[in-house]
Structure 1
Amino acid sequence: MLPMQPLVTLLSIPSPADGVWNLGPVPIRGYALSIILGIGLAIWIGERRWVARGGTAGEVSDLAIWAVPFGLVGGRLYHVATDWELYFGEGRNPVTALYVWRGGLGIWGAIALGALGVWLGARSRGIKLLPLLDALAPGVLVAQAVGRWGNWFNQELYGRPTDLPWALEIDVAHRPAQYLDVATYHPAFLYECLWNLAAFAVLVWLDRRFRLGHGRVVALYVMLYTAGRGWIENLRIDDVQMNDVLGLRLNVWTSIVLFVLAAAYFAWSTRRHPGREETVRTREPDAEVTPADPTA
C-alpha cells in the first residue's frame, strides 16, 4: 500500500516553477498577463451590458482609458498604505513600492480610484454614473477571478497548510519561515476565483430577473464579493500589517463594514428608487449646447 504523503502530492495542484518568461530582453510575467486578461474580459462584458442598458457601443472601451490607470494606481496605493512596512521599514527599499509586477494590488483601492476614473470620463460624456457602474460590476468579478491566477504564478497569498486533494504545492523559497517543512496549502487564489465566477452568475441572473437599477447591482456586487472574501481571508497565513485587529485581519473587518454599508444602501435604494432608470444619460452623446440668441 502506498504511503499517504505521495498520494496527497500526486493529487495536489502544482505551482509553476517560474512565473516569468523571457522573450528576448523582454520579461513576460504571469501576474501581469492575468491582470491584463482580466481587464480585457471586464471591458468586453461591460460593453455588452452597457449597450443592453441603452448605452452606445465603444463607450466602455473609451472609459477604460480613465478607469484602468486610476484603478492600478489606487490598488497599489491601498496595498502600500496597508503594508507600508514591506517598503519603508528598517532595511527596506522604498523604490520596491513601485514594483507592481511583484504583486500587491489592493482591490478596494482599485475599485475606489477606478470608479473615480469612470466618473470623470462619464461626466464629460453626459453619462449617468449609477447605471454605468451597474453595467460594469459583473465584469469586474470576472476580472478579479482571472487576476487571482497572478497569485498562483507568484506563489503568494495562499492559505493554511492542508493535505486535501486540491492542496496547492508551494516551493520552499516561497514558504513562511514557520512552515518550511510543509509542502501543501489551501489554494486561496482558486477559492476566490471560483467564488467570484459563481457571484458573477448570481449577479447577472438577479439583474435580469429583477431589472435592478440605481446602483443596486453594485451594492449586490459588494455584498457577494465581501461575503466570500471574508472567509477566504481567514484562511491566509501571509504576514500583513495590522494583521490582528480585535482578533480579525484588517481585510476581514473591511469586508464586514462594506457588506453592511452595501446592504443598507440596497435596502434604501429599493424603497427610494424602485425599478430601473429610464435613461442612462444626462444628455445625448453628440448634443451640443447652443448659445441663446441675444436678440431674441
Structure 2
Amino acid sequence: MPLSIPSPEWSFFDLGPFRIHAYALCILAGIIAATILTSRRLTRRGGEPGVVLDIILWAVPLGIIGARIYHVLTHPGDYFYEGANLWDVFAIWKGGNAIFGSLIGGAVGAYIGCRLSGIRFWSFLDAVAPGMLLAQAMGRLGNWFNHELFGLPTTLPWGLEIESTNAAYPLGLPPGTLFHPTFLYEIIWNLVGVAVIILLERRINLRWGKAFGVYLIWYGAGRSVFESIRVDPSEIILGLRTNVWASIAAVVLGIVIILVQRHRHTGVPISVYVPGREWKRPDAEVESEDNDFESEDHGDEAGEPIESGDVAATSTRDSPPQDR
C-alpha cells in the first residue's frame, strides 16, 4: 500500500457568484482558533472577556498588509518588470503573502490595540504565542490545497505527489517524482511548539514577553530548516534564501527578548493591564480580613490569577513602567 501523500483534487469551490478558496478557509480557521485560545489565556490571567477581539481587529488587517508588503519586497521580479501591471501588487486574492511580514504588521497592529485597550503589550504577546503556532499550522494546510511550497525530491514513503503540469514542478524531473511535504513538517513542528510553550509555562516563569521569545526561537529554528529544502523561487542573499535569514533573525530576537526581560523582570506582572487601566470583575468578592488571597502581592485585585509554574512574588521593578 503506497504511503505517499496525494495532492487534493480541488483548491476552491463556487458558492453562487463567489469563489471560496480552501487556502482562505485555512487562514480564517487559524485566525479563529488563535483568537479563541488567546482569549481564554488572557481572560484566565485577568483580562476582560472579549478584550482580545479589540486587539485582533487591529492585528489581523495590519498583519495581512504586512504579509503582502513583505512578499512583494522579497519577490520583486514577480511584480516589477517591463509591461507589468502594478495593480497586481495589491491583488492579494491572487496569492503571495508572507508569514514574517504578517508578524511585523501584526505586531504593529497588536501594539495599537493594546494601547487602546490598556492591555500590557508583553502580556498579550505571551498570551498569543501558542495561538500563533496553532494558526500557522492550520494555515500551512492551505499550501497543500494549493499544491505549492513543497520541498526537494525525495524517495521517502511519505513523499508528496505533485502533478508534472504544476508551474512549480522542477524542470528535468520525471513525472511521478515525490517531494518533501514541507507543509506537513511545519504543521507537526508548530503543533509540537504549542505543547512545548504550554508545558514550559507550567514549570518556569514565561511572562513579560518570554513566552513570545520561545515562540520566535521555536518557529524560527524550524522554519530555517524547512525553508532550506523548498524548491520555490526566492531571493538569495549570501547563499541563503531570504526567509532563512528572517528565520535566523527571529531566533536571535527571541533570545534577546528572553535575556533582556529575564534581567528586567524577575516575577509575574501584577496585572495584564497597564497601571490605571485595570479591569475589575463585576462579581469580585468584597475584601475580607480573613481572605488569604486579598493581598496585592498575589495580584488578585488586578485580576491576575497565580498559575502553576509562575513566580508568586513580583519584582519591585515590574509595575511602574508600562509596555516594556
TM exceeding 0.5: yes
| TM-score (ref. length: structure 2) | 0.81
Aligned residue pairs, count:
276
Indicate the residue corresponding to 1:197 in structure 2: 191
Conserved 8 A contact 1:31-1:103: no
CA contact (8 A) 1:78 1:108 kept: yes
Tell me which of 33, 43, 52 is aligned to 1:51.
43
Instruction: Indicate whether 1:178 and 2:177 are aligned.
Output: no
Q: Distance in 1 between matches of 2:204 and 2:127?
A: 14
> In structure 2, what is the equivalent of residue 206 of structure 1?
200
Question: Which residue of structure 1 aligns with residue 25 of structure 2?
Answer: 33
Cα deviation, 1:36-76, whole Å, max 9, x if unaligned, reads 00000000000000011211110112221111111111111
* Alignment partner of 1:167 is 2:159: yes
Whether the 8 Å CA contact 1:15–1:153 is kept in 2: the answer is yes
Does the alignment pair 1:219 with 2:183?
Answer: no
Aligned to 2:9: 17
Q: Note the residue ranges of structure 2 that are not aligned, 5 or more in a row.
A: 281-324
Give the structure 2 partner of residue 138 of structure 1: 130
TM-superposed deviation, 1:109:
1.3
Give the aligned partner of residue 231 of structure 1: 225
| Residues 164-209 of structure 1, C-alpha deviations (whole Å, 9 max, x = no match) | 1111111123243414524311011110111000011101111222
Does the 8 A contact of 1:131 with 1:213 survive in 2? yes
Q: 1:109 aligns with which of 93, 98, 101?
A: 101
Name the amino acid aligned to 1:226: G
1:289 corresponds in structure 2 to none
Most deviating of 168-177 and 104-113: 168-177
- Output the CA distance in 1 between the equivalents of 2:17 and 2:76: 31
Q: Among 278, 281, 293, which residue is 1:284 paired with?
A: 278
**Residues 94, 17 of structure 1: alpha-carbon distance in 2 compared, 3 angstrom cutoff:** farther
Over 3 Å counting, the alpha-carbon distance change for 1:87 and 1:44 in structure 2 is same
- The question of whether the paired residues in 2 share the 8 Å contact of 1:29 and 1:101 is answered with no
Greater share of residues in helix: 1
Contiguous gaps of at least 5 residues in structure 1: 1-6, 287-296
Inter-CA distance 61–199: structure 2 relative to 1 (3 Å threshold): same
CA distance in 2, matches of 1:68, 1:215: 20
Contact 2:220 2:250 in 1 (8 A): yes
Do the aligned residues in 2 keep the contact of 1:76 with 1:100 (CA within 8 Å)? yes
Contact 2:160 2:179 in 1 (8 A): yes
Contact in 1 for aligned 2:162/2:169 (Cα 8 Å): no
Residue in structure 2 matched with residue 153 of structure 1 by the alignment: 145
Tell me what 1:85 maps to.
77
**Compared with structure 1, are the counterparts of its residues 43 and 13 closer, same or farther at alpha carbon in structure 2 (3 Å cutoff)?**
same
